[in-house]
Amino acid sequence: MTGKEFKEKILSPILWGNLLVMALVTVLLAIGVWIGLGKYTHHGEEIIVPSVEGRLIGDAEYTLEMEDLVAVVVDSTYDRSRPSGAVMVQLPKAGSKVKSGREIYLTINSRESPTVSLPDIADNCSLREAQDRLRQLGFRLGPVQYTSGDKDWVYGVRCQGRSVMAGQRVPTDAVITLIVGSGVVEDEEIFDYDDEEIEGEETPEPDEQPETFDYD
Gap between the Cα atoms of 115 and 78, Å rounded: 11
Percent of the chain's residues with pLDDT above 70: 74
User: Domains of the chain: which residue ranges?
Assistant: 47-109, 115-181
- Residue 194 scores a pLDDT above 50: no
* Residue type (1 letter), 127: L
CATH number of 115-181: 3.30.10.20
Higher pLDDT, 111 or 35: 111
Task: Give the pLDDT score at 215.
Answer: 44
Closest CA to 125 of 104, 154, 158: 154
Q: Angle 46-50-40 (CA atoms, 0-180°, nearest 5)?
A: 30
Question: Using one digit for the tens of pLDDT, what is the confidence trace for 59-84?
Answer: 999 999 999 999 999 999 888 888 98
Q: Are strands 162-163 and 154-159 parallel, antiparallel or unpaired?
A: antiparallel
**CA-CA distance, 169 to 154, in Å (whole number)?**
19
pLDDT value of position 106? 97
Q: Does 210 score more than 60 pLDDT?
A: no
Task: Output the average pLDDT for the chain.
Answer: 81
User: Using one digit for the tens of pLDDT, what is the confidence trace for 89-118?
Assistant: 999 999 999 998 999 999 999 878 888 999
- pTM of the prediction? 0.50
CATH fold for the domain made of 47-109: Trypsin Inhibitor V; Chain A (3.30.10)
